Amino acid sequence: MIGLARKLRAADYFTLGFGTMVGVGWLVLMDDWLRRGGPVGVMLGFAIGGLALLPIALVYGRLVVAMPDAGSEIAYTARVFPPGVSFAAGWIMMLAYLIVCPWEAVAVGRLAAYVFPGLDVFEIYRVGGKPVYLPDLLLGLALTAAITLINYRGIRLSASFQKWMTFALLALFVAFALSAFGRGSLQNFHPPFSQGGPLSVLLVLQIVPYFMTGFESVPKCAEEASPEFRSGGFFRAILLALGVGVLFYTSVVALVAYLRPWPMLATHRFATAVAFEQAFRDHRMVDLLLLAALLSLVKIFNGNFVAASRLLFALGRRGLVPPAFGRVHERNLTPSVAVLALGGATALATCLGDAILVPITEVGSMASALGWLAACAAYLCLRPSAGERALAVAGLAVAALLVLMKLLPAVPGHFTRSEWIALSIWAAAGLAMRRAGGRSSPMART
């Protein structure tokens, strides 16, 4: 069998993990975040959520060192559970990554329309009462085609692209933070919560898994490590990506709330851009902010696309879906069939427009937590030491709570009809793919 190209180094794994985690939610959805929790509620939600995810990150760090497999959750669960469980874990985790791709493809149109309002013309249809404009749709489809082509050509090109986008974003954010000093007030944080402390934090915690999904993308490219790469680098990349991700989210919320009173910002679309424009009174600063957002958007699209394509590739290689998805391109050494298939799926979902943004956030959060739950359950069943079992139990508890927060009707912010429909469609697609797969394949029984 032809293997995947072995090209990735330590910096590539960090930028994959962080880049897959941080997108443009901090710009596009800041108003929703502030309405959910207020500035302190959002910061506490991300900080507590990041700390709670630490046991899960540690579990992944240990598993990838022991089993450097592109299938990640698929491979881990296959060691201790039947093939059906392995398939379900991989399929739901693929949703967590793939669902981000059309989100970003739609968001690029929203960013462009903010800079050039004239783009919101030529309405071609509506989905869920929201219009889909031709220029926005074409931008999203063009970005999807570009990301698909980059990943079809090779992992080295994709990783270099990811690295430049990630470090450029971090450099721009540091520049923004330094230039904003003295242009705001701590009084703008009042009131600290939007609807009472505990409830505000809870409403934010429910979306944290979606915005923190990414640190566990590192194992999906474990088979593509350079021959000189040491396995301990996987562990460090996962923890660094999680830590920097939490720091980024809490810092950007603090910066926005510092610049302008947040109750006013919560009423504006693109609240982050509004805060910067009013504080600096210079539209050029907003242009730089939007440039940072564009860099962030492209890199998270690319990172999630990489992770999703490796999961589909692993499912095909094990015969859990049609084996064609497990093919490797002879020259590029990429999972070419999986890449093209996910590019097409992303393009189709992009055609749904803005109506998909909120349901995607909610479903993605639960899908990520289910994937983490499966990985921690597999780690526990592998019978590690007492300390490792405690770590697995802690990860299981966190993941289970995150899942229950979305499923229990008594919890504010639980799944609505739209989210259940989206999840049901994905489950039905998975059953169809499973039936079409090679059940008699030897890999499906390992």
Tokens of 170: 């971090």
Q: Mean per-residue pLDDT for 394-416?
A: 84
Whole-number pLDDT of residue 359: 64
What is the pTM for the complete model shown?
0.89
pLDDT tens sequence across 117-146: 777 788 898 887 788 888 888 999 999 999
Q: Which two tokens stand for residue 444?
A: 């499906």
In this prediction, residues 11-23 reach a mean pLDDT of: 92
| Segment 225-258, tens digit of pLDDT | 999 999 889 999 999 999 999 999 999 999 999 9
Mean per-residue pLDDT, 111-121: 77
Contacts of 314 by beta carbon, 8 Å cutoff, 6+ apart: 69, 70, 71, 72, 74, 75, 90, 326
Q: What CA–CA distance (Å, rounded) separates 185 from 174?
A: 19
Q: Which has more pLDDT, 355 or 96?
A: 96
Domain ranges of the chain: 11-445
Residue-wise pLDDT for 173-227, tens only, equals 899 889 988 899 999 999 999 988 889 998 898 888 878 888 999 999 999 999 9
What is the CB neighbour count within 10 angstroms for residue 308? 29
Which pLDDT belongs to residue 444? 43
Q: Which residue has the higher pLDDT, 220 or 116?
A: 220
Residues 6+ apart with CB under 8 A from 346: 98, 101, 102, 105, 144, 148, 305
Those residues with Cβ within 8 angstroms of residue 212's Cβ, 6 or more apart along the chain or in another chain = 21, 46, 49, 50, 53, 242, 245, 246, 368
pLDDT of residue 360: 66
Which two tokens mark 258?
A: 């510092």
Q: 11-445 in CATH: which number?
A: 1.20.1740.10
Beta bridge partners, 130, equal 127
Per the prediction, the chain carries an average pLDDT of: 89
